[in-house]
Structure 1
């Protein structure tokens, strides 16, 4: 018997209109809502129907329809705040470095309606107002508007405190968990410390046991069973990918659970051993650079990039963003791009660029150690472009920009039509690690004198990665609430402990099925 899918389909079976075929030049009509019953925005540039359709295609799941939508449709501004996310996502996949008029108009309308509800004491901190602010923050995570987030995040925290805490929120606990994952993801992508209220909620949230037959969003950050049962049986994975993810999982546990070791030296030795396995594999598969690569090969490559960045940050006790720059500067040799045919399975719900097939660099030369501890050379990435003459080389680009473009190229060619299906948990891990790692990529590369266009490209690519991460979270959170919270809690541990340089507050994370929290020593040790 086949295992169940990771996400239940939005609708079981075919609907009548699925079998209807329309000839050329025939339209089903723009007005999905001819009687204007859906809440509207007083701006002619905003098509609520278009945003609603995009939202359902990109984020929609059956669990969302059961647990979230019934509440949204009871409030105009809660509903419109959902479209803010859809519009921000559309901006990202259409390569807009700045918010579109449609996104700005939707956000302004939602903010206006939130302010109107503040006038009435009975609606100031009701579920609908908190939902609207939460989803507004989610859209701002995609746009990367840190200045606005600094106002809205403390504001929603005060609203929750006035309600009596997260446990007092409604929607059968879904509002508390949604606000928690939005807030934790926002902090992770900015490499900032999340608020204790959300850390405590994610830490104390129980996680039920799962049989080996269950299909769950496993990743190196969360694996409640003894092995990657879902990943192993996925047709999208390979044995190489499984082995690498196991090494990252083990290294993450060693890095965060330092109390299990008799000495710091013993722990460092194990970290270094795992680091070498991840970053210095003894053999790599031979790839024919003249042929089109499969989505599985592209997926493996981007997994490997995320693994190398996370492993480097953990073993050197540096922030993920610093590890990103170190790897980019030390390992990238620029070459002209090679044209690769994109996957034919890309669809409307797949974020794409105008030219998703370009891989604009190669990594093919041995480099010296980045620190005195590591004296082995870095092997080539899986995919390289054939050498060309120097006369046709493009202008030099900053290494960080090239690495970020390579990451997006790999993801776009890996077939994102269903967010990697039963490997959505792995894709979510990638977006968290690479989203945090690339948060300041161009800022750290000022010595290269990057151009305005290159800086704009970096903004577009980072926004695109954040949009993909939000898409994964929304698709997962209503059916796999516990795994999303536990994944984010572990990601906070990695990001914060790396940022602290291995000192200060430690995030002790266990990837088992239990819950609970522990406090020890000079600082808090929070245990999943």
Structure 2
């Protein structure tokens, strides 16, 4: 009993001191503040300091002060008591991104600003969340815009496919999110997204390396790019930096520059220094990373349509590969395929012969490609009996599909006929009759395709199913250049001149163009560019990406007018050089997007178009040789 009665007494003896302490503690006085609530900044020397008790108490205190400083709402409380309807208020904090280029500081794409609005709402402007993977994972909320990078001006105007835009934006967001997740989880510590300079940067302060790298990933990367190319970029800072040249030239295009900007010139100079330093070291002289840097520089020259510099870089790349034993012994198939595709692409838009180091690269056709429903089909590449991927695209009308079939058949006929002619040179005269019959069959089929092409109506003609179908119109104009080159054995740059293209004369004689439209007013490449701007080029025509590559590559080669190629005299107009630059960038972006996902279809299509250009050029050489012999005979007689 004594023990049980002693416990309450012990408790009683301990309680009074605690109560006395609570009574003696002075109540906190609320601090009256004049003006808007001020920010409270936390500083620490180590990230773990942000989790200590004093810091957390300070944050809770600041939150409570903010809560108590909010003005009361008697009207709403009265309605609640009276049982009346309560209107939903806007959220106290609204978040949005100020991505206007004119208000973007150089070092930081967005700054943190808090200000009082209407006495009770705080606006938070921040662009830094766009650089973190966590922010990119979040979807758009009802009162929240998605964090965005600096917006690029849209080059193409007019008809836009909303579904294509959504697909492209989601793909770019997904690729960029993966890229940033692979680099680091960056948080706002300091006054920028990279306060500790963890990412590699250029020596020149005028080159914004982070901004260029982000735009490079947004515009050119694909899903397979992350698997095949990104690991090497993240392993070697020079490779990551050199890729910025692609984005720099792309931004020059959107600023409507016909030549390199100061930033692009500085960037190229630093990449040259990178290559020079690597060539002086035996360990990096012909390494994969050095080859990638040279490829990035070569791609930048393709964008700029500088054929002389392009050829120099191509020869340099060939020497590096020769030092490694050739493409077949490189030991890195994605690198070999990408090298070949980039050089082939430069040869196509320059109408040049590929170097032997790349022309001899063997491309095996994988039967699995027949089961791939996403392969980029075009008049240059169709493994199946008929188009499958193209036919499933909503923007490919039956008229467009029939036109593309004719161009595919014309391609096959021309290559088969020229191959037969090569065989004829090595056979006896006994087979001459068979060769003559094959020539007649070839001529009749080509004539039928030519008639169908010249009778196709323009998309400008109203009251027809093809009215305002600008994908169809772009394919039609490309077909006029392409078919005339094959039929007449003339380069694309020649048949783009309407005065030297007989198919244009046949169209003008018919009533297919509609009133007020004529193809004689400008070069066909400029007309094609005008039409192409009315399509949605952001998604590369989606399932018709192979066709878009055919259109833009033929357009880039066709834009090689004499005044653009030979810069000894001034161009006839600024548009000539501008159009060629745009076509080069459109086609190169398509090639980069496709080569990582579908390398073999891209390479096979490129080799086929190179073969056509070679056969056309050989016919021109034979024709010139025959002309020279004729002159010698005439003068000799």
User: Given the two structures, how large is their TM-score scaled by the length of structure 2?
Assistant: 0.62
Q: 1:408 aligns with which of 498, 504, 529?
A: 529
Matches within 5 A, 1:85-484: 85-170=246-331, 172-201=332-361, 203-211=362-370, 214-258=373-417, 259=419, 262-263=434-435, 266-267=438-439, 269-271=441-443, 273-278=445-450, 280-281=452-453, 284=456, 297-326=469-498, 365-366=508-509, 380-381=512-513, 385=516, 401-440=522-561, 442=563, 454-484=572-602
Matches within 5 A, 1:504-515: none
Looking at both structures, which has the greater relative contact order when contacts are Cα pairs under 8 Å and sequence separation is at least 6?
A: 1
Contact 2:460 2:467 in 1 (8 A): no
Question: d(CA) in 2 for partners of 1:161 and 1:325?
Answer: 40
CA, structure 1 residues 297+153, in 2 after alignment: closer, same or farther (shift >3 Å)?
A: same
Q: Deviations over 1:189-230 (max 9, x none)?
A: 1111101221111x4444334345622100000111111011
Answer with 262-271 or 298-307: which moved more. Answer: 262-271
Q: Deviations over 1:68-91 (max 9, x none)?
A: 111112112211221111111222
Question: d(CA) in 2 for partners of 1:43 and 1:72?
Answer: 21
Q: Deviations over 1:332-383 (max 9, x none)?
A: 79xxxxxxxxxxxxxxxxxxxxxxxxxxxxx9731xxxxxxxxxxx6644x7
Contact 1:231 1:423 in 2 (8 A): yes
Give the C-alpha shift of residue 179 in structure 1.
0.8
Give the C-alpha shift of residue 385 in structure 1.
3.9
Question: d(CA) in 2 for partners of 1:136 and 1:142?
Answer: 10
Question: d(CA) in 2 for partners of 1:251 and 1:179?
Answer: 29
Contact 2:477 2:524 in 1 (8 A): no
Contact 1:247 1:274 in 2 (8 A): no
Give the C-alpha shift of residue 36 in structure 1.
2.6
Give the C-alpha shift of residue 35 in structure 1.
3.2
Question: d(CA) in 2 for partners of 1:124 and 1:498?
Answer: 38
CA, structure 1 residues 141+423, in 2 after alignment: closer, same or farther (shift >3 Å)?
A: same
CA, structure 1 residues 57+257, in 2 after alignment: closer, same or farther (shift >3 Å)?
A: same
Question: d(CA) in 1 for partners of 2:584 and 2:268?
Answer: 18
CA, structure 1 residues 308+419, in 2 after alignment: closer, same or farther (shift >3 Å)?
A: same
**Larger C-alpha radius of gyration, 1 or 2?**
2
- Please name the residue that 1:343 is paired with: none
RMSD of equivalent CA atoms:
3.6
Give the C-alpha shift of residue 494 in structure 1.
1.0
Give the C-alpha shift of residue 455 in structure 1.
3.1
List alignment gaps of at least 5 residues for structure 2: 1-134, 151-187, 422-433, 623-637
Contact 1:401 1:441 in 2 (8 A): no
List alignment gaps of at least 5 residues for structure 1: 1-13, 334-362, 367-377, 388-397, 505-528
Contact 2:453 2:480 in 1 (8 A): no
Give the C-alpha shift of residue 294 in structure 1.
9.2
Contact 2:460 2:468 in 1 (8 A): no
User: Given the two structures, how large is their TM-score scaled by the length of structure 1?
Assistant: 0.74
Q: Deviations over 1:66-120 (max 9, x none)?
A: 1111111211221122111111122224321111111111111111011111111
Contact 1:63 1:479 in 2 (8 A): yes
Q: Secondary structure of 2:469's match?
A: helix
Question: d(CA) in 1 for partners of 2:404 and 2:320?
Answer: 40
Question: d(CA) in 2 for partners of 1:491 and 1:162?
Answer: 29
Question: d(CA) in 2 for partners of 1:318 and 1:456?
Answer: 25
Give the C-alpha shift of residue 462 in structure 1.
0.2
Give the C-alpha shift of residue 460 in structure 1.
1.0
Contact 1:401 1:458 in 2 (8 A): no
Contact 2:351 2:613 in 1 (8 A): yes
- Please name the residue that 2:172 is paired with: none
